[in-house]
Amino acid sequence: MKGRIANFSAGPAVLPEDVLREVQSNLFNYKGRGLSVMEMSHRSKDYQTIIDDAMLRARQLMELGDDYEVLFLQGGASLQFLMMPLNLCPDNKEPNYINTGTWATKALKEAKKIGKKMHLAASSEDREFRYIPREFKLSANPAYLHITTNNTIRGTQYHQFPEIGDIPLLCDISSDIFSHRIDFNKFSLIYAGAQKNIGPAGVVMVAIRQDMLDRIPDGLPTMLDYRTHVDKGSMFNTPPSFAIYVMGLVFKWLQDNGGLDWIEERNRAKAGLIYDMIDSTDFYSGTADVADRSLMNVTFRLPTEELEAKFIAEATGCGMNGLKGHRSVGGCRASIYNSLPVKACEQLATFMREFKKQNG
């Protein structure tokens, strides 16, 4: 039987081996109940325990108080692009966005599509999204400021967040959630598609401060109203029950191993292995400004596209998957999310060193 590969895929991404083994052991007969979680009624006591535990662990990891609601929804981060302006931007205010790449661009376009007077507070498009803007200018009457904390395609990441006083700060934190310690209470709303850093595809986690619910206008479509899901504990309709179950196990894995301080130390060590290799030679070149490099997505180029294709093919042959850059930009990308073992980054750094010797 072939062993597990080093999975550098940008998503759906690697999951902790301990979690996969626990899922495997309970897949056919969950804790002796005689059925799988995939077959379990979401209205049962057993499933209520599962979703309550996942919500509690998420709240603990974020260190949120009772003034926040945690939701598990469907539609991915892409549906949140629409739900945010629909729920939280009155017609007399402007949603503000900082554009740092593809997913930030998609978010602001959704506000435009529903007729909101979207304001671009800052953008790094002038240099192909290779950096995080330090300066921004809000509109005269902002409903909120939205940022994307980590940019998977370009390999940039916020290391300090905008200071905007009482104006709500909203963020897409899909690809670096729980990768390092931050103050989640700075945000009025966060959302994260699970499939990169905290679980399998099919569920998006939202944390929203309760006072934001007072801004929601009446008359929204039922499923697009945050209050619907708050009132029903994320079970207005059948939730993505199995994905939530696995996500809860990932939260437990994080807590059992030392929480966000532990994972941050590990992630910095992993990223350092690859960035040190890139910086030690002119053969590889990082695509993001050094000060704004991501801990989650290491993007780089080789001298020619032909060498990049050879690099990716040979790495795949050596058991390293998913190193091809996004189709919109090319190059190479190593996504090194929380669950990726340190040994995988050691393997990649060694391969990069040997590939350079043979092809440099």
Q: Which residue, 256, 285, 311, sits at the end of a domain?
A: 256
Same domain, residue pair 204 and 333: no
Cα 286 to Cα 284: distance, rounded to the nearest angstrom: 7
The domain spanning residue 346 has which CATH number? 3.90.1150.10
Q: What is the mean pLDDT of residues 200-227?
A: 97
| Rg of the chain (C-alpha set) | 21
Q: What is the mean pLDDT of residues 116-143?
A: 96
Answer yes or no: is pLDDT of 47 > 70: yes
To the nearest 10°, the Cα dihedral for 310, 313, 316, 320? 30
Q: What is the mean pLDDT of residues 129-145?
A: 97
Q: Are 320 and 5 in contact (CB under 8 A)?
A: yes
Mean pLDDT, the chain, rounded, equals: 97
93, 103, 176, 225: the active-site residue: 103
- In which residue are the tokens 């376009």 written? 109
Q: What is the mean pLDDT of residues 36-56?
A: 97
Q: At what angle do helices 342-359 and 259-279 cross, to 10 degrees?
A: 0
Same domain, residue pair 77 and 225: yes
Whether residue 11 is contained in a domain is answered as no
Same domain, residue pair 276 and 129: no
To the nearest 10°, the Cα dihedral for 305, 308, 314, 316? -110
196, 270, 324, 356: the active-site residue: 196
Closest residue by Cα to residue 339 from 2, 18, 55, 3: 18
Whether residue 221 is contained in a domain is answered as yes
The domain spanning residue 162 has which CATH number? 3.40.640.10
Residue 46 among the catalytic residues? no
Q: What is the mean pLDDT of residues 261-266?
A: 98
Residue 253 among the catalytic residues? no
Same domain, residue pair 214 and 289: no
Q: Which domain holds residue 315?
A: 258-359
Number of domains in the chain: 2
Amino acid identity, residue 355?
Answer: F
Residue 112 among the catalytic residues? no
Same domain, residue pair 248 and 268: no
What residues contact 28, with CB distance under 8 A and at least 6 apart?
36
Answer yes or no: is pLDDT of 1 > 50: no
pLDDT, residue 321, reads 96
pLDDT, residue 3, reads 81
The model's pLDDT over 157-209, given as tens digits with 9 standing for 90+, comes to 999 999 999 999 999 999 999 999 999 999 999 999 999 999 999 999 999 99
Q: What is the mean pLDDT of residues 62-69?
A: 97
Closest residue by Cα to residue 106 from 76, 130, 126, 131: 76
Is 237 or 91 the better-scoring residue by pLDDT?
237
**pLDDT band with cut points at 50, 70 and 90 for residue 2:** low
The model's pLDDT over 289-320, given as tens digits with 9 standing for 90+, comes to 999 999 999 999 999 999 999 999 999 999 99
8-state DSSP, 329: T
Q: Are 194 and 202 in contact (CB under 8 A)?
A: yes
- In which residue are the tokens 């495997």 written? 24
Three-state SS at 77 = helix
Q: At what angle do helices 342-359 and 305-317 cross, to 10 degrees?
A: 130
Same domain, residue pair 197 and 296: no
Same domain, residue pair 103 and 228: yes
Same domain, residue pair 121 and 267: no
Whether residue 5 is contained in a domain is answered as no
